[in-house]
Amino acid sequence: MLKLEKRPQPSRLWTYLTPVLAVVITMIAGGALFAALGKDPVEAIGTIFWEPLFGEFAFYYRPQLLVKGAPLVLIAIGLSLGFRAGIWNIGAEGQYIIGALTGAGVGLAFYPMESWVIFPLMVIAGALGGWAWATIPALLKVRFGTNEILVSLMLVYVAEQLLAKMALGLLKNPEGHGFPGSRNLRDYASAHNAEIVAGTGMHWGVVAALIAVILAYVLLNRHILGYHIRLTGQAPKAARFAGVSPSRLILFCLGTSGALAGMAGMFEVSGPSGQVSIDFNVGYGFTAIIVAFLGRLHPVGILLAGLLMALTYIGGEIAQSNLGLPAAAIQMFQGMLLFFLLAVDLLTNYRIRLKQAEAA
């Protein structure tokens, strides 16, 4: 018989091994899924993980790793701060949408004026929009003790309705011949999040993600606030005894994660996406949860996990095009990654022992 035995303290070895093991198991389970769909599992897995990096058109796909990975890393860094403290923001997708709306709204308000000030104002507006949306569940939790998981998640659906309303109403392109969606911000130089170096995929959203990784690392390892965050997550009673204010921590963690998600939305709508549309959001806010846990809630780990998840996005698109795999299968493959990570993460805190069955 198998028995789970709690470890005296979490295993450092398994802490680093579980993400690797989760990826390997996901490949095996994903291969079985693709085989059930009538596809060659080796070819499908190879297409997802090999083609974007070393395939015939890798010169085109490699820059897309930064484009796809930047919003995931930016959102996941914010989420990880709260997750470390036991504060669960599941509504980053809504904050991402609101940040895109407020950022694009500021840019379009100045159209067609050209000025270098417009884009920084859009960044600030995007961050404030995401921050304000995340502050709603924070204030409700602090004041009324509501569950931030449910409130933040429900606000995603409200944000999606606002997105549709803006795309069909206030932000609708007056020269769009009745089609929903805003003006294309890529045609408006002052509001366009263009590549800093052409052909590299490096835009200001990528820069912001790298800065967020560095600042999060410094915060968690060199600042008293980072110590409070870690202490609250590991020993809540000890944190309260040490004088840590739960209310302030909730407001900070949710507000910061919302601001970063809002910035990610603003960088996306002004760059790769280009316009406010009904289907603007593609699930980055939810995928970032996988990235945060796959990166072990560590800034550097999140950076690597974000690039890995971006690889599955790009490789998945190639597999859909070349092999005819359905989009739902790729999404299921990505979901498996979180499932198996959470499953094998059990080995970090528990060891499996063989127990001899007792005689009847």
Question: 242-292: per-residue pLDDT in tens?
Answer: 889 999 999 999 999 999 999 999 999 999 999 999 989 889 999 999 999
- Tell me: cis bond preceding 112? Omega within 30 of 0 counts: yes
CB 19 within 8 A of CB 356: no
Taking only the tens place, the pLDDT of each residue in 279-297 is 898 899 999 999 999 999 9
CB 360 within 8 A of CB 6: no
What's the Cα-to-Cα distance from 213 to each of 80, 164, 193, 246, 260, rounded to whole Å? 11, 32, 20, 24, 11
pLDDT at 359 (0 to 100): 56
Residue pointed to by tokens 């959470």: 342
Give helix 118-144 / helix 246-269 axis angle, nearest 10°: 150
Tell me how far apart the alpha carbons of residues 199 and 214 are, in angstroms, rounded to a whole number: 25
| Predicted confidence band of residue 219 (pLDDT cuts 50, 70, 90) | very high
Tell me how far apart the alpha carbons of residues 130 and 141 are, in angstroms, rounded to a whole number: 17
pLDDT at 266 (0 to 100): 97
What's the Cα-to-Cα distance from 29 to each of 33, 37, 55, 308, 316, rounded to whole Å? 6, 13, 24, 17, 15
Tell me how far apart the alpha carbons of residues 167 and 182 are, in angstroms, rounded to a whole number: 6
CB 210 within 8 A of CB 216: no
Tell me how far apart the alpha carbons of residues 128 and 237 are, in angstroms, rounded to a whole number: 32
CB 49 within 8 A of CB 311: yes
Tell me how far apart the alpha carbons of residues 243 and 134 are, in angstroms, rounded to a whole number: 25
pLDDT at 360 (0 to 100): 52
Instruction: Give the torsion sign (CA, 195, 197, 201, 202).
Output: negative
Domain ranges of the chain: 73-302
In this predicted structure, the answer to whether residue 317 has a pLDDT above a threshold of 80 is: yes
Q: Quick one: which of 293, 347, 289, 335 has its CA closest to 29?
A: 335
Cross-strand pairs, 6: 350
pLDDT at 121 (0 to 100): 97
- Decide: helix, strand or coil at residue 121: helix
Q: Return the amino acid letter for 2.
A: L
List the structure tokens of 58.
Answer: 């890798």
N-term to C-term CA, the chain: 14
Tell me how far apart the alpha carbons of residues 97 and 278 are, in angstroms, rounded to a whole number: 11
Q: Where are the alpha helices (DSSP H) in the chain?
A: 12-36, 41-49, 51-54, 58-84, 92-109, 118-144, 148-168, 204-222, 224-234, 236-241, 246-269, 284-294, 299-323, 327-344, 346-349
| Predicted confidence band of residue 159 (pLDDT cuts 50, 70, 90) | very high
Taking only the tens place, the pLDDT of each residue in 74-120 is 999 999 999 999 999 999 999 999 999 999 999 999 999 999 999 99
Cross-strand pairs, 322: none
CB 186 within 8 A of CB 192: yes
pLDDT at 8 (0 to 100): 86
What's the Cα-to-Cα distance from 235 to each of 15, 151, 221, 348, rounded to whole Å? 19, 25, 17, 18
Tell me how far apart the alpha carbons of residues 80 and 88 are, in angstroms, rounded to a whole number: 9
Q: Checking DSSP bridges between strand 350-354 and strand 2-6, what pairing results, if any?
A: antiparallel
